[in-house]
């Protein structure tokens, strides 16, 4: 049985639960229970505060954890990242009042910076040979300059709207972050086998993201041209239709180029185009 620690609430909780559900790991929907066991996979989920997850994995209380990379780096615990999950993306950045002219990172010398991430900030300042006072606070870091608590802030930025509403501007990008799957350094062989099966499922879900399964009818004499247009996973499937001179073409398309490719297919005579979502893809 593997135990995985996940955030008890918030956006990361929602996206983690969606990922596990798409991996066909069935869990009770209750948020009040500290520990929930899957009914169809040897996995139990431990719900914790996000900043407690790295330590719980490092000490073996949990075998795995899903946590923001920013929290993992900040806590600097003895565990390992085994997979980047691609959601809950954000960045850690330095921001100052928007009316100040910013000449470069040397501006922070002698300044007071408010943050909830002192370890990451201290490492960045040392790397850039900047001597500043770090003021550690929790909660609404972005209000600190406005009330005279600091000259600048170092905090998470997603859309940047919170900075704008507090008359701040981002001046230095320090770190990009996303949700990561971390693991205890000394898993048993039995737990490694379960982890490998979990990774297999997660990879299948990830591969299917932004992919569409496309079926179309096409003139047989244009098939070679159509194949040249299709950037499918491998060679598309071609099957003859009952109507002479026509065939059915099946392939997989990436959402990013979907409409561009569909337009080219129609120009080559493809019709009856059917587009289906892909739940999982196993390579």
Residues 56 and 130 in one domain: no
Give the model's pLDDT for residue 29.
66
Kindly state whether residue 38 falls inside one of the protein's structural domains. yes
Residues 106 and 233 in one domain: no
Residues 63 and 142 in one domain: no
Tell me the pairing of strands 246-254 and 237-240: antiparallel
DSSP codes, 256-269 = GGHHHHHHHHHHTT
Please count the structural domains in the chain: 3
Kindly state whether residue 252 falls inside one of the protein's structural domains. yes
Nearest Cα residue to 144 out of 158, 133, 159: 133
Contact between 23 and 45 (Cβ < 8 Å): no
Beta bridge partners of 114: 135, 153
Kindly state whether residue 37 falls inside one of the protein's structural domains. yes
Residues 199 and 217 in one domain: no
Phi then psi dihedrals of residue 28, to 5 deg: -65, 140
Residues 32 and 165 in one domain: no
What does the alpha-carbon distance between residue 104 and residue 102 come to, in Å, rounded to a whole number? 6
Give the model's pLDDT for residue 32.
61
Give the model's pLDDT for residue 233.
56
Give the model's pLDDT for residue 278.
87
Kindly state whether residue 236 falls inside one of the protein's structural domains. yes
Residues 112 and 244 in one domain: no
Give the model's pLDDT for residue 175.
97
Question: What CA–CA distances, in Å, run from 213 to 73, 206, 276?
Answer: 38, 15, 5
Residues 216 and 273 in one domain: yes
Question: What CA–CA distances, in Å, run from 33 to 28, 47, 54?
Answer: 9, 8, 20
Kindly state whether residue 282 falls inside one of the protein's structural domains. no
Residues 115 and 37 in one domain: no
Give the model's pLDDT for residue 159.
81
Kindly state whether residue 132 falls inside one of the protein's structural domains. yes
CATH number, residue 265: 3.30.70.120
Looking at 160, 177, 194, the residue that finishes a domain is 177
Residues 99 and 167 in one domain: yes
Q: What is the pTM (predicted TM-score) of this model? A: 0.84
The residue with tokens 């060679």 is 235
Alpha helix positions (H), the chain: 11-22, 53-58, 69-75, 118-127, 161-165, 189-208, 223-229, 258-267
Kindly state whether residue 283 falls inside one of the protein's structural domains. no
Residues 80 and 182 in one domain: yes
pLDDT tens by residue, 46-68: 999 999 999 999 999 999 999 99
CATH number, residue 40: 3.40.190.10
Phi then psi dihedrals of residue 276, to 5 deg: -125, 145
Element spanning 172, H or E: strand 168-177
How many other CB atoms are there within 10 angstroms of residue 8's CB atom?
A: 17
Nearest-5° Cα angle at 76, 72 to 77: 90
pLDDT tens by residue, 132-149: 999 999 888 999 999 999
What does the alpha-carbon distance between residue 91 and residue 68 come to, in Å, rounded to a whole number? 11
Domain ranges, residue 52: 2-87+178-207
What does the alpha-carbon distance between residue 6 and residue 70 come to, in Å, rounded to a whole number? 15
Give the model's pLDDT for residue 31.
57
Q: Which residues of the chain have pLDDT under 70?
A: 29-32, 232-234
Residues 103 and 65 in one domain: no
Residues 78 and 109 in one domain: no
Kindly state whether residue 80 falls inside one of the protein's structural domains. yes
């Amino acid at each position: 049985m593997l135990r995985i620690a996940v955030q008890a609430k918030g956006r990361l909780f929602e996206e983690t639960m969606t990922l596990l559900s798409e991996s066909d790991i069935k869990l009770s929907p209750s948020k009040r229970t500290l520990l929930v066991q899957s009914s169809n996979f040897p996995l139990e989920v431990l719900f914790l505060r996000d900043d407690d997850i790295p330590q719980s994995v490092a000490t073996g209380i949990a075998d795995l954890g899903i946590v923001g990379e920013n929290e993992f780096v900040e806590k600097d615990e003895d565990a390992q990242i085994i997979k980047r999950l691609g959601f809950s993306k954000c960045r850690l950045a330095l921001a100052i009042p928007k009316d100040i002219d910013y000449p470069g990172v040397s501006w922070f010398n002698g300044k007071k910076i408010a943050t909830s991430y002192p370890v990451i900030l201290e490492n960045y300042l040392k790397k850039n040979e900047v001597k500043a006072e770090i003021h550690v606070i929790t909660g609404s870091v972005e209000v600190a300059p406005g009330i005279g608590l600091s000259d600048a802030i170092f905090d998470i930025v997603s859309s940047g709207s919170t900075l704008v509403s507090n008359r701040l501007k981002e001046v230095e990008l320090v770190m990009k972050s996303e949700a990561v799957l971390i693991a205890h350094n000394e898993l048993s062989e039995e737990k490694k086998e379960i982890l490998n099966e979990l990774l297999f499922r997660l990879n299948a879900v990830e591969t299917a993201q932004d992919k569409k399964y496309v079926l179309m009818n096409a003139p047989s004499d244009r098939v070679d041209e159509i194949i040249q247009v299709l950037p499918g996973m491998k060679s598309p499937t071609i099957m003859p239709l009952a109507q002479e001179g026509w065939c059915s073409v099946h392939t997989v398309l990436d959402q990013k180029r979907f409409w561009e490719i569909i337009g080219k297919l129609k120009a080559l005579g493809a019709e009856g185009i059917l587009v289906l979502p892909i739940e999982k893809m196993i390579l």
